[in-house]
Structure 1
Amino acid sequence: MKRPFHATLFLAQLCTGAALADGIQVIPNGDQASMAGSADYFTGAVVVDMLVTPTEYSQVSGAHVTFAPGARTAWHTHPRGQTLIVTSGKGWVQEGSKDKQEIKPGDVVRIAPGVKHWHGATDTNGMRHIALQEAVDGKNVEWLEQVSDDQYTK
């Protein structure tokens, strides 16, 4: 018997990777400890709170990332692109040699596959966003060089 489409079940599947045939899986808030962003991939104070990790059903991962003023990612790319949903504060995102763009709460940033970019807080305001990306062959990001202070302030 074919199941009807239910938006709630679809969202549960998207967020947790659970298949419709498996029902709904609730992952309690706080089940995963907060992590400091690695100095290999971030500049400044960054806290990463994982929301979803890949499963056998879905290769999507997501985190709520908190950047202190001046904090940012290194340059990087994603094989299937990335979506950022800004939840608080004020930040910047930049693609390659293009001008950086301001991002603020409610903004959704869609980054195409393979696009070299960075994102983080402004120099005077912290920023939080939800970052969603999909893995290809178990890899969801290619980290590159750090964003220099000159690149960041330009």
Structure 2
Amino acid sequence: MTLTASQKRHETRLEYNAALPGCPARQLLEAMSSKWVSLVMLALSEGQQRHSELRRQIPGASQKMLTSTLRSLERDGLVSRSVTPTVPARTDYELTTLGHSLLCVIHEMKDWAEANMDEVAHARLEHDHDRSIAG
């Protein structure tokens, strides 16, 4: 079946509609929304680092979680991993060009969170108080 230009545009919009469960854009948004992804990306914005350096910069990140996050970011093309054949082997991580292109969004989210946390905390307290009264 041959599609008209309008039908092709419509299908393309559906294919990349993040509201739809199977949409690749939705899957990417889900992956990027992890707090660990943001924290790793922010840490790597300072330059190439080893796993141990990243663990020191991101308190609370377990070795397993950090490794999983780095693998996911590498798979998505946002982080590159280079291994230097020494004893023991040295592994460094750094942002790729694609990873650097995402940093502006992550920095804006971080800045927004820092600028609005007091207001959000207040709203949460009010909400929780109102719910406790309503019982």
TM-score in terms of structure 2 length: 0.27
Between structures 1 and 2, the one with greater helix share: 2
- Which structure has more relative contact order (CA 8 Å, sep 6+)? It is 1
Between structures 1 and 2, the one with greater strand share: 1
TM-score in terms of structure 1 length: 0.25
**Based on CA coordinates, which of the two structures has the bigger radius of gyration?**
2
